[in-house]
A = this chain, B = another copy of it.
Amino acid sequence: MNRARTSLRQRHQPLRTSGHERQASLISAATSLFAANGFTGTTTKQIAKAAGVSEALLFKHFPTKHALYTAILAEKAQYSELRDAVEEATKKRDDERLFTLLASYRIRKGADPTMLRLLLFSALEGHELSDMFFQQQYRVFHDLLAGYIRRRIEDGAFRPIDPVLAAKAFFGVVLHHRLLHDIFELPMHLSHEASVVEYVSLFLGGLVRQSPDS
């Protein structure tokens, strides 16, 4: 009987996936499930099914459900993209471009809410790696922007306001936009691009009409 089963198995791609690939597919399946339902809201059974393997194999790769969660956060925490463009705008003192760059990196058509949901869940559920995740997803750009604002104040180009608070405020606007439209799924009344333009203009110029223009 074993022989019969084996003989039916012709060459095609191997039925056995490599450990590395399997691990990756488990992480991928778990990522979207954790992002959708949170840690406690996701069962190991669901993850295994989504990855197309048995639950037992999941535990061969990750000793506990928690370890799998940790592995996700640790993996997703690192990315370096965008920094070059930002640093260029920084050197050129191109305020509008820098702010637009930072905002539209997060506010854009294709941006999927998975990471944001993961970040919020990890913070709310109090995961140990929540801090680290936050640092690397967010803090980098925050510090960069605060530093830039500080320099521009020294230049005399910006009003003398607290740079850290100003950076926080700007990211607040951006994050809030994503919160409303990606998480709460509220309808937008302006396109992403138009929103970014308005936000940047508002942030740089303020609300109050300063000098009556022609």
A106 at the interface (CB under 8 A from B): no
Interface centre among A37, A121, A177, A202 (most CB of B within 10 A): A202
Q: Is the CB of A130 within 8 A of B184?
A: yes
One complex includes copies of this chain to the number of: 2
> In the complex the two chains form, is B158's CB within 8 Å of A207's CB?
yes
The one of B39, B41, B177 that contacts A168, using a Cβ cutoff of 8 Å:
B177
Return the contact of A176 from the options B40, B134, B168, B199 (Cβ within 8 A).
Answer: B168
Contact with B along A111-146 (1 / 0, CB 8 A): 000000100110111000011001000000000000
- Majority SS of interface residues in chain A? helix
Q: Which residue, A120, A123, A168, has most C-beta atoms of chain B within 10 A?
A: A168
Cα A202 to Cα B164 in complex, Å, equals: 12
Q: What 1/0 mask marks residues of chain A from 167 to 200 whose CB sits below 8 Å from any chain B CB?
A: 0110111111101100110000110000100110
The 8 Å CB contact of A37, one of B40, B130, B171, B179, is: B40
Nearest B residue (CB) for A178:
B172
Interface residues of A (CB under 8 A from B): 37-41, 95, 117, 120-121, 123-125, 130-131, 134, 149, 156-159, 161-162, 164-166, 168-169, 171-177, 179-180, 183-184, 189-190, 195, 198-199, 201-211
Report B-chain residues with C-beta under 8 Å of the C-beta of A131. Answer: 184
User: Contact between A203 and B210 (Cβ–Cβ < 8 Å)?
Assistant: no
A124 touches B130 (CB 8 A): no
A125–B37 touching, CB < 8 Å = yes
Q: Would you call A207 and B149 a contact (CB within 8 A)?
A: yes
Give 30 pairs: A residue, B residue, CB < 8 Å, sorted on A. A37-B40, A37-B125, A38-B41, A38-B124, A38-B125, A40-B40, A41-B41, A95-B208, A121-B124, A124-B124, A156-B209, A157-B208, A157-B209, A158-B208, A159-B208, A161-B202, A166-B207, A168-B180, A169-B173, A169-B203, A172-B172, A172-B174, A173-B176, A176-B176, A204-B207, A205-B207, A205-B208, A205-B210, A206-B206, A206-B210
Residues in chain B near residue A171, CB distance under 8 A: 176
